[in-house]
Amino acid sequence: MTTQAVEIQILGKIMRVNCPAGQEQALKEAADDFDQRLHELSERTKVTNTEQLLTIAALNICYELRAERQQNTDDKNDMEQRIVLLQQTIEDALLKHSASKEA
């Protein structure tokens, strides 16, 4: 897999990072989102220490990721239960239909 160096800007600092070819725009958008989050967090918390700000932002993002993963797991489990119920309903309907044909 080839990589491409991309310039991004976080908290006014320009960095060059490598990313898979074809993913440059996604990386730039992610960097812009992260930069915006950092600026909003800094304004909201009045934290000016860059290391603290990055740590708080990373913790917030990890919390959001865990919440999304849990929601996905819950949704998957709910969908699996619905599929089982639907399969049971179809099987019951088929059994009733075949029983009525035999009568």
Q: In whole angstroms, what is the distance from residue 11 CA to residue 80 CA?
A: 44
Residue 4 has pLDDT above 70, yes or no: yes
DSSP at 21? T
Q: Name the pTM for this structure.
A: 0.75
Q: Of residues 98 and 18, which shows the higher confidence score?
A: 18
Greater model confidence, 60 or 102:
60
In this prediction, residue 16 carries a pLDDT of 97
Give Cβ neighbours of residue 45 (< 8 Å, ≥ 6 apart).
53, 56
Mean pLDDT of 4-15: 96
How much is the pLDDT for 62?
98
Instruction: Give residue 100's pLDDT.
Output: 85
CA–CA distance, 8 with 100 (Å, rounded to integer): 69
- Going along the chain from its start, the domains and CATH numbers come out as 3-102 (3.30.160.880)
pLDDT over threshold 90, residue 103: no
Band of pLDDT at residue 99, cut at 50, 70 and 90: confident
Tell me the pLDDT of the chain averaged across its residues. 95
Nearest residue to 82 via CA among 67, 69, 90, 95? 90
pLDDT over 70 percentage in the chain = 99
